Amino acid sequence: MVFRTIKFSILTATLLICLTASSVWSQARTKLNVIYPAISGINAPLWYATEQNLFPKYGLDVELIYIPTALQVTRVVLTGDSQIAFSGGAPVVNAVLSGADLVFIGGVANVPAFYMMALPEIKSVADLKGKTVGVTRFGSSTDFALRYLVQKNGFNPERDLNILQLGGMPELAAALSKRLIVAAPLSAPTHIRARAAGAQPLLDMAKAGVYFPHTAVITRRAYLKTNRDTALNFFRGYSEGLQRFTQDKTAAKKIIQKYTRDTAEDIIEATYQYAVDYVVRPPYPNREGIVETLKLSQNPEAKKANPDNFLDSSIVKTLEDEGFLRQIGMQK
């Protein structure tokens, strides 16, 4: 009886120690609410880093939040409900021009990584003139990409197009299949579904020769000032995930399948390759893209704005200088 009591006491004490250690370890992690703005391959390395539990390795408890409206993303970050977000660049630039305390601290895709998908009768960009086309939201990356494209081809988007804002990528694809619009900028995997429904790729906008913050990492300057170590640890986890994503195709494709809820092998494969092709490594924010965004902004403050005031490259630069990017194989 005494032996059993002693044995039970030792077991209880051991269990309490383990639970206490687990609790302390959990409490030591910093909670981060991180937004991603689209069910797109561009965000797949972030999904990978989260699903592979890389952030706890750097002392973070990351919760991903899906908000498909870029303007809403900036609002949530500004309230402090999200500390770090992946966001389309154009709404962030316009918010900063209006005085918002936001800053680009990383790059995800630095070109307009959209396929302009159109109905079969649309054979060229010129054929869009006078037609109804779709974007996710006014001021979004899709809106910027569309306006940039038609301006480059010599006509005025305000005067020569009927532009509808329809919500998210699935809504654009649905409107295209129902012929409510004749064209829309789509990303993988949505553009593949649109093609299966009869739409045709009019143009791969990523190859149009322009820089643009299609998706970037943002935070508040005030948050960065007091939580720099947290931002560094986020980029350690994300950068490791990004690098491993390119080398661990089997796991990466399973994670893409989970988030896109798609089982078609050709769609999963194309989405994976889309991410490998267009997600930037190392994840520096892109100054040239901000310059282009300012050129197209209708905010009168844009003409005199300094692009350098919109970004802070020091987080990724610190990882490079300390040898972390080389350590994970992202740099030689």
Q: What is the pLDDT of residues 144-177, one digit of tens each?
A: 889 888 888 888 998 999 999 998 888 999 999 9
What tens digit of pLDDT does each residue of 299-321 get?
899 999 999 999 999 999 999 99
pLDDT in tens, 58-80: 999 999 999 988 788 999 999 99
CA 268 to CA 40: how far, in whole Å?
Answer: 11
In a domain, 14, yes or no: no
Say if residue 268's pLDDT is above 90.
yes
Return the ∠ at Cα 66 (arms to 64 and 68), rounded to 5°: 155
Structure confidence by residue, pLDDT tens digits, 191-221: 888 988 899 999 888 887 778 888 999 999 9
Tell me the two tokens of residue 71: 């303007």
Q: In this predicted model, what pLDDT tens digit does every residue of 84-117 receive, in sequence order?
A: 999 989 889 999 999 999 999 999 999 888 999 9
Segments forming the whole domain that contains residue 179:
115-207
CATH number at residue 121: 3.40.190.10
Number of structural domains (the chain) is: 2
Do 124 and 231 fall into the same domain? no
Residue 1 has pLDDT above 50, yes or no: no
Tell whether 95 and 226 lie within a shared domain: yes
At 168-190, the pLDDT tens digits run 888 999 999 999 999 999 988 88
Beta strand 84-87 pairing with 102-109: unpaired
Predicted TM-score of the model (pTM): 0.83
pLDDT digits (tens, 9 = 90+) for 233-246: 999 999 999 999 99
**Peptide bond just before 157 cis, omega within 30 deg:** no
Do 150 and 179 belong to one domain? yes
Q: What three-state secondary structure class fits 128?
A: helix
Instruction: Please identify, among 191, 207, 223, the residue that sits at the C-terminal boundary of a domain.
Output: 207
On whether both 239 and 317 belong to a single domain, the answer is: yes
Last residue of a domain, one of 176, 207, 238: 207
In a shared domain, residues 57 and 173? no
Kindly state whether residues 315 and 192 are assigned to the same domain: no
Return the closest-CA partner of residue 36 out of 93, 107, 70, 85.
Answer: 85
Helices 314-321 and 228-247, interaxial angle, to 10°? 70
Three-class SS state of 292: helix
* Residue linked to tokens 């054979």: 123
Torsion of the alpha carbons at 34, 323, 313 and 35, rounded to the nearest 10: -10
Same domain, 219 and 105: yes
- 104 and 49 within one domain: yes
Chain segment 19-47, per-residue pLDDT in tens: 433 443 445 899 999 999 988 999 999 99
Q: Judge whether 243 and 326 are in contact, CB under 8 Å.
A: no
Closest CA to 234 of 331, 309, 318: 318
**pLDDT value at position 188?**
84
Give the Cα separation of 42 and 242 in Å (integer): 11
- Assigned domain for 13 exists: no
17 domain-assigned:
no
Residue 36 lies in a domain: yes
Evaluate whether residue 169 is within a structural domain.
yes
Same domain assignment for residues 146 and 275: no
Residue 27: the pLDDT is 55
**Order of all β-strands in the sheet with 215-220:** 60-66, 30-36, 84-87, 215-220, 102-109
| CA neighbor of 111 nearest in space, from 215, 216, 211, 217 | 211
Residue that terminates a domain, selected from 158, 179, 207: 207
Q: Where are the beta strands (DSSP E) in 37-109?
A: 60-66, 84-87, 102-109
What band does 3 get if pLDDT is binned at 50, 70 and 90?
A: very low
Instruction: Specify if 7 maps to a domain.
Output: no
Peptide bond into 307 cis (omega under 30): no
C-alpha separations of 279 from 55, 112, 270 in Å:
19, 11, 14
Same domain for 322 and 259: yes
Residues 78 and 145 in one domain: no
Same domain, 90 and 217: yes
The torsion angles phi and psi of 133, rounded to 5 degrees, stand at: -125, 165
Q: Using an 8 Å Cβ cutoff, are 94 and 211 in contact?
A: no
Report yes or no on 231 lying in a domain: yes
Domain membership flag for residue 8: no
